[in-house]
């Protein structure tokens, strides 16, 4: 939870408003199975960038429920939209890395790898915005665990 709190502070303070982090409510830990689970805020239908890329490549999602959610939330999804989402994801990573390379971040002990150890399409939920934020038509929610 501390890593998520730190990441939330960095995002809220130093990144554009089209990047966000769902609220984190708690941690469930099981010593019996050696796993931990985060309880986080639900974002729309929970559609990840990976889901959208795979949908565009295959013409359907991994489940009917997800396919229906993509149709409902992302009408008009096409290769151009997918490419712009991929570019927006790269921009997010560049902006985060740019902040984390500053003396202030280094002094506070933040590093890109410590705050976001596995940045990939599956760790980004995408929300289609009704009104663009900073020229972006999609909000990216980081769910990296």
The mean per-residue pLDDT over the stretch 55-77 comes to 89
Better pLDDT: 139 or 116: 139
Rounded Cα distance between 133 and 107, Å, is: 31
Range of the domain at 66: 2-142
Give alpha helix (H) positions in the chain. 2-14, 49-58, 64-73, 79-100, 103-107, 112-115
For residue 144, count CB atoms less than 10 angstroms from its CB and return exposed for 0-12, middle for 13-18, buried for 19 or more. middle
pLDDT in tens, 77-126: 899 999 999 999 999 999 988 888 778 778 888 788 888 888 899 999 99
pLDDT of residue 38: 65
| Both tokens assigned to 84 | 């712009």
What is the tally of structural domains in the chain? 1
Q: Are 115 and 100 in contact (CB under 8 A)?
A: yes
């Amino acid at each position: 939870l501390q890593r998520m709190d730190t990441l939330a502070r960095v995002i809220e303070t130093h990144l554009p408003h089209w990047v966000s982090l769902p609220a984190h409510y708690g941690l469930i830990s099981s010593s019996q199975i050696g796993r931990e689970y985060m309880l986080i805020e639900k974002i729309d239908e929970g559609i990840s960038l990976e889901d959208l890329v795979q949908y565009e490549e295959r013409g359907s999602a991994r489940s009917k429920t997800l396919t229906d959610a993509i149709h409902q939330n992302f009408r008009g999804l096409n290769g151009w939209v997918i490419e712009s989402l991929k570019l927006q994801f790269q921009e997010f990573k560049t902006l985060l890395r740019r902040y984390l390379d500053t003396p202030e971040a280094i002094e506070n002990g933040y590093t890109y790898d410590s705050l976001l150890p596995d940045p990939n399409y599956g760790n980004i939920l995408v929300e289609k915005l009704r009104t663009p934020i900073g020229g972006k038509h999609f909000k990216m929610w980081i769910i990296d665990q």
